[in-house]
Structure 1
Amino acid sequence: MFGKKVSVETNISAFELGLLRAMRRLQQDAEVHAKRLARYGGLTPVQLMILRILQGEGKMTASALSRFVSLTPATLSGLLDRLEERGLLQRQRDDLDRRRQWLLISDNGRQLLEQAPPLLPPEFCARFSALPEWERHGLTAALLRAAELCGEME
């Protein structure tokens, strides 16, 4: 193999099938779990994630939340409208800057989260928790990096 040039295309092709299979498997499992979540209170995984984030953060602006969950402001706006219509979140004007609007989880949203299923499938959570901490960090870092590679080019 010494002296033989390997093109970038050949390099990627060697991994392409395995990467695509892994990504497809993750997508399929996410879709199955999303259907389970929909049966519980009609929430999508993204809606549940938004509520969990607001529960943890206390309050956020829509623009900060948009960046945090990797959604366009337009997409997030529709999701927030539906959550607000269901009484699961509230919008509150900033006392000092009336142009700023805060998003807060409502009491109904908190109650719903107390009984809500986990964001990730329970089987995955159990297997992931059984891994050594270094491996959990490594997998998380690898998935975050893969997501960056899939994202839009700036």
Structure 2
Amino acid sequence: MRNDLRKSDIHLDGIDKRLIELLYDNARTPVSELARSVSMTAPSVNERLKRLEESGVIAGYRVDIDPLALGYSLIAIVRMRQLPGKMHELEAQINLIPELVECDKVTGDDCYIARLYLKNISELDPILDSISDLADTNTSIVKSTPVKRRLLV
């Protein structure tokens, strides 16, 4: 990040927001197409993207994988409350579970809330067993996702 530009100084105008929306929908959109979409020249769009990257607003470009296409038909939300003195061990174990694709450390009754992708329900117990000596768990199976991860701008 440039030293003269702090995140608190960032102001996104309508063009910045539109560029971010377009890239959020397809991070591989060519700059020429982005430029046409916002009625600007490609060099101007390039400069805006560079500024958004340098300021940290655009933190990276990612591929969005469809878990169902890879055979992961179930999603489970696992809430974990670590057992006394087991925080570091639990966190290390969480990082070893490849099906656990997202995990937040939270306040409240639970310590972690994780999103787990499974090919079938029989995979759930062995994963939960791998952390049973480290945490109490509460698991819910996701029926649907009415709000997908959405853009903040």
Instruction: Report the TM range for the smaller structure's normalisation.
Output: 0.3 to 0.5
Query: Structure 2 length normalisation: TM-score?
Result: 0.32
* Higher strand proportion: 2
* Higher helix proportion: 1
